Amino acid sequence: MASCRLALLLLLLGGMSAPSSPPAGLLGRVFEYIDLHQDEFVQTLREWVAIESDSIQPVPRLREELFTMMSLAAEELRRLGASVDVVDSGSQKLPDGQTLPIPPVILAELGNDPKKATVCFYGHLDVQPARQEDGWLTDPYTLTEVDGKLYGRGATDNKGPVLAWINAVSTFRALEEDLPVNLKFIMEGMEEAGSLALEELVRREKNRFFSSVDYIVISDNLWLSQRKPALIYGMRGNSYFMVEVKCRDQDFHSGTFGGILNEPMADLVALLGGLVDASGHILVPGIYDHVAPLTAEEKKMYEAVDLDLEEYRNSSQVKTFLFDTKVERHLQYIFSKRNSSNQMSVSMALGLLPWTANITDNQFLAAKKAIKTVFGTEPDMIQDGSTIPIARIFQDIIQKSVLMLPLGAVDDGEHAQNEKINRWNYIEGSKLFAAFFLEVAQLHSNDRNSPA
């Protein structure tokens, strides 16, 4: 019955091919268990979403919620049999002089068999702010199911995917089956606020906690489609700049001084307007010289990507997109042309490097096979515009392959009102991770047994 329901659901979702038959053996029993216990998995997600683990608003009440969230996750991992280290992250000093504690980082280990691959999963348990009066149709901290969609803040970013990993592990435990791989978990509660103190911890733990790690997986992105899974092998990074135009330290009366001096706001609007044209083309001279050209291999991969622009536009709720198919020096140049008596300053607030992975690594091959098993299709291979700095940090410091393995659909609305994860994505994603464990184990075993 479970496999029949799945096939019908896939048909209703738009024709994505399903596996020809349920897998046999251990994986078949794993899938059956997950189907039978999906309501329990949804209930756990409901309990996690109920915690207002907002890391953006720096108030003591919300920091207490974050500590509660991290404690709950640590207990969940201990129930699985993991050894859990709750690492103190110190405190955060705010611009107003207030000091708030930073929620701890969880480092957990499950299994240490030297013959097995060791997979490290990163996830975060903090969320963006959410209030029902901002346009939510339901209470954002009460998980609400409507037509198979599970609405709630953090449902897709990132509590649902974190729990999908835990669901996969708990299924092996419930079936009294040995885990195919050693697992490590690193979970934080400040990702939405810049992952404070995390890079320092990764550097400190490089030769201890991370010393045995073979592969690192992050599930904190979305597909390009409502139907077809994706693997993400790169992100573009970003640069945040602060631009300030100053006339004097005190305000001017607009009636007395309006029209006889350079209005700082007009200068600022002109500066910002000089960065991008109406078609989205960046006007900073030479900036496109630093963009890597599209390779023939990438072009071939992108031709297979299931991107329905109309669906993408509708899910984004915008009328149209711009496309159907070195900042500081430039600002100084624009400002000089205005002959303004004001002063302009530019400072970089945050700079995050791009990240690109090797898609021929074992874990990408394992993920492709697992996706084919669970969803009956090859994944879209894409690069993402999101910024997840921990990916580049892991790759640079730990020097191990990083895989982005998302669960969410394109219309999940992370960071937005009415964020959701589809029950189907959540449950099938739990199966995906279980299948991924087995595929990684098989490839790792092949490598160990192959002649040098």
The residues that bridge with 149 in the sheet, in sequence order, are 146, 422
What does the alpha-carbon distance between residue 118 and residue 443 come to, in Å, rounded to a whole number?
12
| Options 54, 76, 126, 220, the catalytic residue | 126
State how far the Cα of 349 lies from the Cα of 346, in Å rounded to an integer.
9
The amino acid at residue 282 is I
Token code pair at residue 217 = 């997986």
Query: Cis bond leading into 158, ω under 30°?
Result: yes
Tell me, yes or no, if 126 is annotated catalytic: yes
The yes-or-no answer on residue 289 being catalytic is no
Cα–chain-centroid distance for residue 84?
23
Q: Catalytic pick from 188, 191, 214, 428?
A: 191
- Tokens encoding 257: 């001084």
Asked if 118 and 213 count as a contact pair (C-beta separation under 8 A), the reply is yes
Within a 10 A sphere around the Cβ of 66, how many other Cβ atoms?
Answer: 26
For β-strands 238-246 and 182-188, DSSP reports them as unpaired
Tokens found for residue 346: 């530019």
Cα(first)–Cα(last) distance of the chain, in Å? 47
75: Cβ contacts below 8 Å, ≥ 6 apart = none
**Nearest one of 452, 447, 444, 451 to 119, comparing CA atoms:** 444
**Distance between CA atoms of 270 and 281, rounded to whole angstroms?**
16
Q: Are 128 and 57 in contact (CB under 8 A)?
A: no
Entry field: residues in the chain: 452
Q: How far apart are CA 236 and CA 389, in angstroms?
A: 10
DSSP bridge partners of 122: 186, 218
Q: Closest Cα partner for 131 from 114, 115, 112, 153?
A: 153
Residue 163, both tokens: 């729990």
b vs e for 358-387, b when ≥16 Cβ sit within 10 Å of the residue's Cβ? ebebbbbebbbbbbbbbbebebbbbbbebb
- Enzyme catalytic residues: 126, 191
